[in-house]
Structure 1
Amino acid sequence: MSKIWFITGSSRGIGYQAAQAALAAGDSVVATGRNLAALQKQFAGIGSERLLPLALDVADPTQVQAAVDAALAHFGRIDVLLNNAGYGQLGLFEEISAVAVQQQFATNVFGLYNVTRAVLPAMRHQRSGRILNISSVGGIRGVAGASLYCATKFAVEGFSEGLADEVAQFGIAVTIVGPGYFRTDFLDASSIRHGDAAIADYAALSQQLREFFDARNHQQAGDPAELGRVLVQLAQMDSPPRRFSAGSDAVAVLRDKIAHLKAELDAFEPLSRGTDLAV
């Protein structure tokens, strides 16, 4: 049976490719993004019977609810929610303003919460649904120069794990999708943001990290079109994974994190167990 998708951040990158893959599979798509004109240009020629482009700033709860209401009025249901909207706040923690921190969480974390909260009542009523939350390798391992971005993705992963246990009783499955480096505009100047307060003590490291990320812009190994097709496969699975790592680099990061956690746990297990009350 064909599905109705609600996708945030659909005008480019992974969101756009997922929308194209869903349409190619015969599904219908509510494609949302901050710039409606850009959405309409990207999806020109696709009939309204299978596509509904909507302007949406996920950080605005009122706009989120209006978009979800419009989607339900148009298609009657939402089968798959792809929470993809987000951006990368790079830079060293002390060089990023409090306002920039709040903006990063407003989109990457609270925006995802806003959309999920608005969609869940319809999925509960249907007693079915798939939620795909786009995280990152940065949701598994924090790295210098992206501590705040990683913090938002760690929040998405913890939320998704807990939510999955809450909504499974309604036939709703939640999958965390952790991409590695994919060839999108993520590291482009049109998307990425850097710290706005230079601190002399960090100058060398800050410059080194900026050069590292700049060198990988549009050089990433991951194919966003292929990931879009894989997301459609995940949405079709009867028993989808709780966590899916996308890209060989993401697999390597996860394996390394598992090995590090095990080694550290084993090394300090006696000390850990020693904190129990004596019985």
Structure 2
Amino acid sequence: MNSTKVWYVTGASQGLGLTLVKKLLDNGHRVAATSRNAQTLKQAVGLIDTDRFLPLAVDLSNPDCIEESIRETLKAFGQIDVLVNNAGYGMAGTVEEIEGQKIRDIFNVNVLAAIDVTKAVLPVMRGQGSGYVINIGSVAGFVGAPGWSVYSATKAAIAAFSEVLALDVKEFGIKVTVVEPSGFRTGFLTTGSLAFTESNIEGYQAVKNAQQRYLAADGKQPGDPEKASEIIMSLIDMDEPPLHLYLGEDAYKRASEKLRIMTAELEKWKEFTISADFKS
């Protein structure tokens, strides 16, 4: 592992972000980590080492605040080698019962904040002639479950953003990966990382059943955040890392089945698809 790397990690005070930051510091990396409260972040990480750890209080809805945090990181470490856009939260409920403002709020955090942070970091990476953007998505962005339509939409947006961003920045020596986990034991469902709207509409049984299953599974998810963090760390040493990295056996199975279904559907409707063109 190259200990000279400087990582900038958003949403680092809990969950996968916190596990990753601790693992990075244990392995000698330098880390600038963001949270809404720097003191909470310090306490969660449990390491006060200004030579290698820079906790930052950042309002990710404020581009000026993001820019200032980038300047602080460069002042402390002189470079930014890896950006991890991890900040985000979940949302479960039927789309007709979730308040409109709450829908806009989750897009602001899960999508727009990641784009704004990437915009702020890319000039640094272009100047260096190297860099790595790692966006934390979800298998739900490709294969959603009932009741998770809004959350899935945010993660699908992150996946699409990552795909095209990779094409845009390849010439500058910058790599991009979107990490798409299934269920991991990070407290995602019970530590304030989930906005849950219980359905009071008769019906929506698939949504209600799925919500019960997810809530009952908290703390029993098969995904190990320690192993996920080690895998993410290993990406930076790869000459050709994956663009999409699904994490967890459940993520693999769900993505594989979706690809099979999509391929069959694409071929079934091929004649309709190509008939939309002008005749040559």
Instruction: Pick the TM interval, shorter chain.
Output: over 0.9
The C-alpha deviation readout for 1:58-115, integer Å capped at 9, x for no partner, is 2221211111111111111100000000000111111101100000100000010111
The C-alpha deviation readout for 1:195-215, integer Å capped at 9, x for no partner, is 27x542346455323312211
Match of 1:44 in 2: 46
The C-alpha deviation readout for 1:206-239, integer Å capped at 9, x for no partner, is 5323312211111110000111111110122121
Please give the alpha-carbon distance, in whole angstroms, between the structure 2 residues aligned to 1:131 and 1:221. Answer: 26
TM-score, normalised relative to structure 1: 0.95
Deviation at 1:189, TM superposition (A): 5.0
Match of 1:120 in 2: 122
Count of residue pairs brought into register by the alignment: 278
* Match for residue 102 of structure 1 among 104, 126, 129: 104
Match of 1:260 in 2: 261
1:20 partner amino acid: K
Q: Does 1:13 align with 2:15?
A: yes
Runs of 4+, deviation exceeding 6 Å: none
1:125 partner amino acid: G
Q: What secondary structure is seen at the aligned counterpart in 2 of 1:253?
A: helix
Distance 1:277 1:238, change over 3 A: same
Match of 2:235 in 1: 234
Identity %: 37
Distance 1:219 1:44, change over 3 A: same
Q: What secondary structure is seen at the aligned counterpart in 1 of 2:271?
A: helix
Please give the alpha-carbon distance, in whole angstroms, between the structure 2 residues aligned to 1:239 and 1:108. Answer: 26
Equivalence map 1:1-150=2 (5 Å): 1=2, 2-150=4-152
TM-score, normalised relative to structure 2: 0.95
| Stretches of structure 2 lacking an aligned partner (at least 5 in a row) | none
Please give the alpha-carbon distance, in whole angstroms, between the structure 1 residues aligned to 2:125 and 2:89. Answer: 27
| Stretches of structure 1 lacking an aligned partner (at least 5 in a row) | none
Report if aligned partners of 2:135, 2:162 keep a CA contact under 8 Å in 1: yes
Please give the alpha-carbon distance, in whole angstroms, between the structure 1 residues aligned to 2:119 and 2:251. Answer: 28
Q: Does 1:171 align with 2:178?
A: no
Over aligned residues, Cα RMSD in angstroms? 1.4
1:170 partner amino acid: F
Report if aligned partners of 1:90, 1:146 keep a CA contact under 8 Å in 2: yes
